[in-house]
A = this chain, B = another copy of it.
Amino acid sequence: MLKLNPVKPEIANDGETQDLTYTISELAKEFGITTRAIRFYEDEHLISPERIGRQRIYSGRDYTRLKLILRGKRLGFTLADIADMLNLYDSEPGEKAQLEVALVKARQRRQSLEQQLDDLKLTMTELDAFETSCREQLKNL
């Protein structure tokens, strides 16, 4: 293999170190997903790695985006939703109108997240009650 990452440090870090690059299979292993998934995210414009020839080279920024993508997925968001979030974050507004649009979108996101938080709390409360009831019944045996 072409020596793309010649002096990759062995020290444990969060993977976001500057100038550190990754191959697709390194990222796949790190995040426990397939290379196919990573390429798919690129098709959907969620990541845009550099290229050396045809080969993809992922940066620390790509690493971070991937982390955000997977977190978004665990929260049940679609890739389209996640794309929105990512584009929101790395758009360089500068203009007033842009900033205000960003704030509106952020507020909508917050709405959605708060709804989820409520749902989460309710679900946990019910689970608590259920577990308590189970233990109660176990005791009465």
Contacts and interface: CB of A to CB of B under 8 A. Distances in A.
Interface residues of A, number: 36
A111 to B, nearest CB: 11
Task: Give this chain's copy count.
Answer: 2
A80 interface: no
A98 to B, nearest CB: 9
Interface string A92-107: 0100100110110011
Interface stretch (A5-13, A25-33, A43-51, A70-78): A70-78
Contact of A131 (B76, B106, B127): B106
Interface in A53-100: 71-72, 74-77, 88-89, 93, 96, 99-100
A18 interface: no
A4 interface: no
A75 B120 contact: yes
A52 interface: no
22 contacts: A71-B123, A74-B119, A75-B120, A76-B76, A76-B77, A89-B130, A93-B137, A99-B137, A99-B138, A100-B138, A103-B131, A103-B134, A103-B135, A106-B130, A106-B134, A110-B127, A113-B123, A113-B124, A116-B116, A116-B120, A117-B120, A120-B120
